[in-house]
Amino acid sequence: MKITCVAALVALSLAAGSASAEVKFNGFASIKAGMTSAEDENLYGYDNSVDYKNESLFALQAQSELGNDLSVTAQLVSRGSDDFSLEFEWAFLTYQINDEWRVNAGRLRTPFYKYSDFRDVGYAYDWLRTPQSVYDLGFDRISGASLYYNTSIRDMQSSMQFIYGAYDGDVTLQGVVSPTKIDDIYGVTWELSQDWFGMRMAYLRGDVTIQADAFNPLFAALNATGQASVIKAIDFDKDAGSFFGFGMNFDRNDWLTVFEYTFVSVDDSFYANQDSYYLSLGHRFDKFTPYVSFEWDDDEIKPEIYEAMPNGHPLKSTVAGLVASRRVDSSTANVGFRYDFHSSAAFKFELTKAKDRLTMHRNNLVSVGVDVVF
């Protein structure tokens, strides 16, 4: 839902002025720039010319307590990659049932990762950006409801989230923006934490449908040659998708370690089984925090899709190429630092070296940025 900046501010002002409940505002922003080191290098939307818009963003969050344990929250984000048009990222009601249970309903962030809820809030983590080898699914919001249960287990805080909803939007498939629906998304996350240690697990499922119009000529040809079963093995038509994530973090004696692993699969489709993980290590020197991180992405294709076709079939090589296009084997190394030059702002620098292990092509990216909260 995209709206103009003026319209958004007018709407929020009218809400604050006409409602009896107090509306509280806060926000965050990231101003980032980056460039690759050569003309044939492209990474995270950057090329070898300096780009100040690609990852820059501004956001405003409004929250109002309506009384009787009911509140409403809305978050507007303006992204440079989208010409700074405004969009509602979140918009939901919260009901605090008691000290341990609460429920959110509306447009929510899908809780895939450790930093899902604040991945846009760059100030909340030390890296210049979240590790893209893991944080790369094509959607991160759903319409639905979440039930939270917070308690303590011995000396640890326990937080569970049960989620149900659906996604209706677009994802990029084979470089083409495609209408997508994911129905009956359900799952659970569980996080345990104490002063210096945290652990998190997540499991979600949903039925994936993608309108891949770019494949229509291929599907028509396959159908005409009696290969309807191959079409079913390639397309996304209410196919069961699943996500599993596991992560740990340590923050002790100014040493900072974060690890996350994810596995994503979609049954009865040509979507590769995706294994991704990263490991990050940093050390806090007062306001200065240098870090290194390593990322890996290993996506295994499904050769059984085209191996089932008869030898000599005129479309077998075409299907094999389509399936093979989903193969990914990459590694990424990042070296950077964070400098907290203000109580609400941090300057960041990051050097990224990414390697495609299949083609041996390398991309080098230098990025700088300032993250603020207000």
pLDDT in tens, 252-289: 999 999 999 999 999 999 999 999 999 999 999 999 99
Strand duo 141-153 + 57-67: pairing: unpaired
What does pTM read for this prediction? 0.91
Domains defined along the chain, listed by start: 37-52+92-373 (2.40.160.10)
Grade residue 178 by pLDDT with cuts at 50, 70 and 90: very high
- What percent of the chain stands above pLDDT 90? 89
* Residue-level pLDDT at 305: 97
Q: What digits encode the pLDDT tens for the residues 320-368?
A: 999 999 999 999 999 999 999 999 999 999 999 999 999 999 999 999 9
Q: Which residues contact 168 (CB under 8 A, 6 or more apart)?
A: 143, 180, 181
Pairing of strands 70-79, 156-173: unpaired
Note the pLDDT of residue 20. Answer: 59
The encoded tokens of residue 345 equal: 């702002």
Give whole-number Cα distances, 364 to 36, 126, 225, 330, 354, in Å.
Answer: 5, 20, 45, 14, 6
Residue 120 pLDDT > 70? yes
Give me the chain's average pLDDT, please.
Answer: 94
What single string gives the DSSP state of each residue in 310-356? Answer: PTT-TTHHHHHHHHHTT-EEEEEEEEEEEEEEETTEEEEEEEEEEEE
Which amino acid, 212? A
pLDDT at 17 over 50: no
Cα separations (Å) of 206 from 112, 185, 203, 243? 13, 4, 11, 9
More confident residue, 187 or 176: 187
State yes or no: pLDDT of 116 exceeds 50: yes
Q: How many CB atoms sit inside 10 A of residue 343's CB?
A: 6
Beta strands in the chain (DSSP E): 2-3, 23-36, 57-67, 70-79, 86-96, 101-109, 141-153, 156-173, 176-193, 197-210, 236-252, 255-266, 273-283, 288-300, 328-342, 345-356, 362-373
3-class SS of residue 38: coil
Q: Is the pLDDT of residue 1 over 50?
A: no
CA-CA distance, 245 to 79, in Å (whole number)? 27
| Closest among 257, 369, 316, 270 to 32, alpha carbons compared | 369
Percentage of residues in the chain having pLDDT higher than 70: 95
| Contact yes or no for 94/107 (Cβ under 8 A) | no
The answer, yes or no, to whether residue 8 has pLDDT greater than 80, is no
Give the whole-angstrom CA distance, residue 345 versus residue 328.
36
Residue-wise pLDDT tens digits, 18-60: 455 789 999 999 999 999 999 999 999 999 999 999 999 999 9
Distance from the first to the final alpha carbon of the chain: 24
**Mean of pLDDT values over 73-95:** 95
| Average confidence (pLDDT) over 60-88 | 95
Q: What is the pLDDT of residue 2?
A: 47
